[in-house]
């Protein structure tokens, strides 16, 4: 089975649910609490490239500092609204 790392946000219900389901699927992930140890920009770029998706699909906007600061997350990065 491939190695799995999850960036967990304990206050997020979806994150908690997925983390609870992983052992049931035989997955023992490495868990990184995203607020305590956020990934660097370089690591985020690596993850996006490895997954073959755009930045917008990786990051949520609602309830984040980006939304509070009037920023918009796009595939090319974050910009002011």
At 18-72, the pLDDT tens digits run: 999 999 999 999 999 988 998 888 888 888 888 888 777 776 656 666 555 666 6
Tokens of 46: 């690596």
End-to-end Cα separation, the chain, in angstroms: 42
**Known catalytic residue at 49:** no
Q: Which residue did the predictor score with more confidence, 78 or 51?
A: 51
pTM beyond 0.75: the answer is no
Which is the catalytic residue, given 9, 12, 18, 66?
12
pLDDT for 41 = 80
Alpha-carbon distance 50 to 28, whole Å?
21
């Amino acid at each position: 089975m491939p190695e799995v790392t999850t960036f967990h946000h304990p206050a997020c219900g979806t994150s908690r649910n997925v983390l609870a389901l992983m052992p049931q699927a035989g997955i023992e992930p490495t868990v990184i609490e995203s607020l305590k140890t956020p990934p660097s920009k370089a690591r985020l770029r690596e993850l996006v490239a490895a997954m073959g998706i755009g930045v917008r699909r990786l990051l949520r906007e609602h309830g984040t500092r980006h939304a509070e600061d009037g920023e918009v997350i796009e595939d090319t990065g974050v910009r002011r609204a």
